[in-house]
Amino acid sequence: MESIQATKQRFGIIGDDPKLNRAIEKAIQVAPTDISVLVTGESGVGKESIPKIIHALSHRKHGKYIAVNCGAIPEGTIDSELFGHEKGAFTGATATRSGYFEVADGGTIFLDEVGELPLPTQVRLLRVLENGEFLKVGSSKIQKTDVRIVAATNVKMVEAIQKEKFREDLYYRLSTVEINIPPLRERKEDIHLLFRKFASDFAQKYKMPTVRLDDDAVQLLLKYRWGGNIRQLRNIAEQISVLEQERSISHETLKNYLPDVGSNLPAVINNKKQESSFSNEREILYKVLFDMQRDVNDLKKLTLELMKSGNASKVKEENSSLINKIYDEDNNHEEHLASIVEDEEEENASDVEVLGIPSKASENDSEENKRSDKYDFAEEIQEEESLSLQDKELELIKKSLDKYGGKRKDAAEELGISERTLYRKIKQYNL
């Protein structure tokens, strides 16, 4: 078995971090087998090196090695790219085409950004992993393939599974062996070494002297968080090599090339899955509207009886339970609603007209006359705005479409309905 150091030299890997060495060691150990491997790590850490090591040290090294960026292929064509298609399978399919799994038979396929795969494609991939079988798009003939799959992702797979963006069974099938590449901020000893290597490479490329960092600049380099990891460090080294006339780089000079990412102090982050705020608002809106409609109907009943009898005391006595229900039992809830209404009244004071009790009511009843009923405003809302569920459904559909710029898929997910149902609703309301 090839040593770790020899492997790093062969594939141009720089660094002596224990976590990095362990990742390379695991790649060397699994290479002779056909075990599926999942490479994880942040964007820019160099995950693409691991599949190359696995392929080069395996018995498939003479077979084809195909790297596929799953995030760069459109959702509508990814099945055709991976599995091929038959002539006439869809519009534009003028000839039969072989997919990557057919072409790479006997070799290795590297699925980069596998977390971006759409769910239907994940089902197809699961079948390939389990049985080595696949169907071309538009074909009913099962084909066999013998490929080794190595996948990589920068997505947190556990969170993706919880959000139903990735199949749990596919995750466990891919991650028979999981190899994690540490981020650059956890490889402090390798940062300056990598910078020197990049600076030397760019000096040769652009035929200029190599840039060097003073001690203060080195310390700044080590303290920086490097959100883009090795890719970001390489870009910084290239910028400095090209733009700086002075070959000795000071702390202040280097600072100008490092984006300000704010404080590195730890923060408490809520990792729990949050429900859509739009969905919560919709539920609250429905509840408030139904409660308001019920109370307005009760008030209308009282007002009608008051208009018929003209005796407020009598009406109050006969409907005491109803009055208590409206004004006493739900006092806390009504105060909350009243505060919302009062805020609206302050903002739109000039546009609000408070409805009074008809003149037939007793003028001598001070309690009825003094009552500034918060539901007077609610009755005005009843007249100006429709409480029809159909109207509210139309309003919510419009809001969701506006929120996502007309994207029906995202809007349907937000509303909790299928895209097909949303499309039918759009046709129904002529949106």
**What local confidence, expressed as pLDDT, does residue 266 receive?**
55
Sole residue written with tokens 């809106």: 285
- The per-residue pLDDT string of the chain (431 residues; one tens digit each, 9 = 90 and over) reads 578 999 999 999 999 999 999 999 999 999 999 999 999 999 999 999 999 999 999 999 999 999 999 999 998 899 999 999 999 988 888 899 999 999 999 999 999 999 999 999 999 999 999 999 999 999 999 999 999 999 999 999 999 999 999 999 999 999 999 999 999 999 999 999 999 999 999 999 999 999 999 999 999 999 999 999 999 999 999 999 999 999 999 999 999 999 875 545 555 555 544 544 555 677 788 788 888 888 788 778 777 777 777 666 766 676 777 666 666 545 555 455 455 445 544 544 444 444 444 444 444 444 544 444 444 444 444 444 455 677 777 888 888 888 888 888 888 888 888 888 887 888 787 77
CA dihedral 302→308→310→312, nearest 10 degrees, is -20
**What local confidence, expressed as pLDDT, does residue 251 receive?**
93
Strands 65-69 and 37-40: unpaired
Q: How far is CA 317 from CA 39, 331, 374, in A?
A: 77, 20, 22
For the record, the structure tokens of 149 come out as 């799959």
**What local confidence, expressed as pLDDT, does residue 403 receive?**
83
Q: Which residues pair with 98 in a beta bridge?
A: 84
**What local confidence, expressed as pLDDT, does residue 287 receive?**
80
**What local confidence, expressed as pLDDT, does residue 391 receive?**
76
Distance between first and last Cα of the chain: 65
- The Cβ-side half-sphere exposure at 213, using a 13 Å CA radius, reads 26
Which of 401, 421, 402 lies closest to 411 in space, CA to CA? 401
Pair 78, 117: CB distance under 8 Å = yes
For the record, the structure tokens of 325 come out as 């229900």
Which of 160, 168, 70, 161 lies closest to 121 in space, CA to CA? 70
Which of 73, 82, 209, 74 lies closest to 134 in space, CA to CA? 82
Put simply, whether the predicted model's pTM sits higher than 0.75 gets the answer no
Distance CA 65, CA 78 (A): 18
CA dihedral 142→143→146→149, nearest 10 degrees, is -70
The single-letter code of the amino acid at 130 is E
CB atoms within 10 A of CB 107: 20
**What local confidence, expressed as pLDDT, does residue 387 receive?**
55
Pair 130, 123: CB distance under 8 Å = no
Distance CA 323, CA 121 (A): 61
Pair 23, 159: CB distance under 8 Å = no
Domains of the chain are 4-182 (3.40.50.300), 185-255 (1.10.8.60), 293-384 (no CATH), 389-429 (1.10.10)
